[in-house]
Amino acid sequence: MSCLYFGTDGIRGPYGGPVINEAFAQRLGAAAGRWLWHGPPPVSRLVPLGRDPRFSGESLERALAAGFASEGWRTVSLGVVPTPAVASAVRTMGASLGVVVTASHNPAGDNGIKFFGAGGRKLTEQQEFEIERLLPAETPAEGAGDQTVMPGAGALADYIAAASRILAPDSLKGWRIVLDTANGATCASSPVVLRSLGAEVIGIGDHPDGRNINAGVGSEHPGQLAGRVRATGARLGIAHDGDGDRCLLCDENGDILDGDEILAILATDALARGRLAAKTLVVTVHSNGGVDAAVAAAGGRVVRTAVGDRHVAERMAAEGATLGGESSGHIIFSEISPTGDGLVAALKVMEVMLAAGQPLSVLRRGLKKFPQASSALSVGEKKPLDGLPGLAAAIRAVESEVGRQGRVLVRYSGTESKLRILVEGPDEAVVRAGLARLEAAARSELL
């Protein structure tokens, strides 16, 4: 089983390209509509649609709606909302499927389509494969269905209200927070929640125009956030990606915390309070080995899974765990949301800060990272890795150099045309040299 269009997190690519265009979106909506009829009898015939503020989002959403309508489904436009708000709307509406039009952290010229199934959970690979099999060869004609337009404020207001209840009223009074919303979907939600809790919010990337999403701002570009935190004396900084399902943090000194550091803070605190379900944290193969050591020292265990927050969520359910995530900043609290939520992650870390009476610069010390280096090489074609003998030989050599305490990961991105390389080991110099060797081998056979 191998999907042609779906990657690690939905379907993604350049807008106007061979996949992300209105004709394909309409075909995909029709295929998803057909797939829904093949499943259990639906509780609701409504399909909520949300999007981030990219210039191409509205027309792609309309095309999806037309595709669903051709199969007899009514869609509800939620407008511009964070991705986790769409997952929540699926649960609230009792829907069998929800869709968000977003390319997450990608630049504005890209767009994408993510699906959420019943309960607001990401679809499995098998379900995505089944939808692909039902793609019509031609763009379907309009059907008898119709699109019901509901103001986005409905889903957005519900999401804001739920997030605002995570911390006590006025608990952030006196806090100065720098918030980078990446000119994306969280511009009308995260600052509202933080201010409602009493915080003074200094905004970055909070003027979306459809073409500036992730442009030098957001979780992919945290430099401006760090500088503003230092310049303003803020308690911390928060950076979202374009659709708001992940975040990075910045401590009061202007130093960035990635998802591994966030997960270590949350897991060790929960263990100390006896609140980490199954005493288990779920992470992906990309997380630093120091996370395992920190959690083990606190009395818990780490379970690893394939890259992608969908795989994290699936493993969490299998293990009875309620906390998991990725080093990229996708953090899942399944008791609050079935998918990654950057705002929830930030609020939960602030909850730890409040309880411990400690700044982030102190809390982050609980994670001692193993030396690690990574890179992402753009490729024109994703050639099978097992057919690249030079790269395979380099991988074996580097694995031998980093030893049993280290590891080497080489894989293609599931959302971009990139080869991702990671080397981890006991010595910084060995790790850096290993990464350079793997990059050279990959360039000689792929570029």
Which positions are annotated as active-site residues? 104
219 alpha carbon, distance to own chain's centre = 11
Among 229, 32, 263, CA closest to 131: 32
Q: 237 near 226, Cβ under 8 Å?
A: yes
Q: What are phi and psi of 243, to 5 degrees?
A: -110, 0
Task: Give yes or no for a contact between 58 and 210, defined as CB atoms under 8 angstroms apart.
Answer: no
Closest CA to 391 of 408, 404, 407: 408
Query: In this structure, what are the phi and psi dihedrals at residue 21, rounded to the nearest 5 degrees?
Result: -150, 170
How many separate helices (H) and strands (E) can be counted in the chain?
14, 18
* DSSP β-bridge partners for residue 370: none
CA distance 399 to 212: 41
* H/E segment holding residue 348: helix 342-356
Strand spans (E) along 58-195: 74-80, 97-101, 110-117, 147-149, 176-180
How far, in Å, CA of 179 to CA of 200, rounded? 10
Which run of H or of E encompasses 193? helix 190-196
Long-range contacts of the stretch 347-354 (C-beta < 8 A, 24+): 347/163, 347/166, 347/167, 347/193, 348/166, 348/266, 349/249, 349/262, 349/265, 349/266, 350/167, 350/171, 350/172, 350/175, 350/236, 351/166, 351/167, 352/265, 352/266, 352/269, 353/236, 354/167, 354/171
DSSP run (H or E) holding 238: strand 236-240
**What residue spans of 209-331 are helical by DSSP H?**
223-232, 259-272, 289-297, 309-319
